[in-house]
Amino acid sequence: MAENVEQNYEGVWDTRIGFGAKPAVIVIDFLKGYTTEGAPLYAPGVVEAVAKTPELLDLARKKGVPVLHTQVRYATPNYEDGGVWIKKAPVLKCLVEGNELAEFCDEVKPQEGEVVITKQYASAFFGTSLMATLHVLGVDTLILTGCTTSGCIRASAVDALQHGFRTIVVRECVGDRHDGPHEANLFDIDAKYGDVVSKDETMTYFQAL
């Protein structure tokens, strides 16, 4: 009888890294393009994730946990800063200055003084100042929220691990276009790159800081 995927991974790809001592929350690309019905980027799972995230951010701020945000921006008219990725995914061309779809969702928009990282590619680290900022903050744990699970969340989780951070993905606070890619990528992140944990577990960790 063939073993199921959980049995296959058990004891091989199921180690827990856990929370560290100095966390930061990264809110990745919670932009209106993903939550506006009829928009090409619209993703129902992101709508749900945005709704679950404000409570987590409120507690992080109360406990003095840095909250950083990322946004995607491209330069018109040629989108040259998007390189090959914008050719592969031209749906991203709406993410330009002045387009409402490129603005932060109101429920999770940055508060005054919070760092906003602008990026052109999937990872929050690639070609940005994020690593230098986290170094200055003395962070050892990254709490990832945002979208999409199969794209920018996964890419940022892989890079966070490779940069030496304990990587935590909050299950309820990330979303995607479809449950299939969402669940598959959460499974893979949890197996290889970080810990996928519940919002309640994350908030309990914040409370104990």
The answer to whether residue 15 sits within a structural domain is: no
Domain count, the chain: 1
- How are strands ordered across the β-sheet holding 116-119? 116-119, 67-72, 23-28, 141-147, 166-175, 195-197
Q: Is position 14 within any domain?
A: no
For 90-101, write each residue's pLDDT tens digit: 999 999 999 999
Q: Is residue 1 part of a domain?
A: no
67: closest CA among 26, 106, 35?
26
- 9 falls within a domain: no
> Is a pLDDT exceeding 80 seen at residue 2?
no
Distance, in Å, from the CA atom of 39 to the CA atom of 129, rounded to the nearest integer, reads 30
Read off the pLDDT of each residue in 188-193 and give the average, rounded to a whole number: 96
Q: Is the predicted pLDDT of residue 15 greater than 60, yes or no? A: yes
Strands 116-119 and 166-175, bridge-based pairing:
unpaired
Q: Is residue 170 part of a domain?
A: yes
What is the pLDDT at residue 11? 66
Percent of the chain scoring above 70 in pLDDT? 95
Could you tell me if residue 8 is inside a domain?
no
Active site residue 152: yes
Cα 71 to Cα 29, 64, 74, 128, distances in angstroms: 5, 23, 10, 11
Q: Contact at 8 Å (CB) between 56 and 203? A: yes
CATH of the domain at 37: 3.40.50.850
Asked whether residue 13 is domain-assigned, the answer is: no
Average pLDDT for 100-115: 97
Residue 76, domain extent: 21-208
Q: Is 8 helix (H, G, I), strand (E, B) or coil?
A: helix
At 14 the pLDDT is: 75
DSSP code of residue 153: I
Does 12 fall in a domain?
no
Annotated catalytic residue within 94, 105, 147, 152:
152
When pLDDT is cut at 50, 70 and 90, the band that residue 8 belongs to is low
pLDDT at 175 over 90: yes
Average confidence (pLDDT) over 37-56: 97
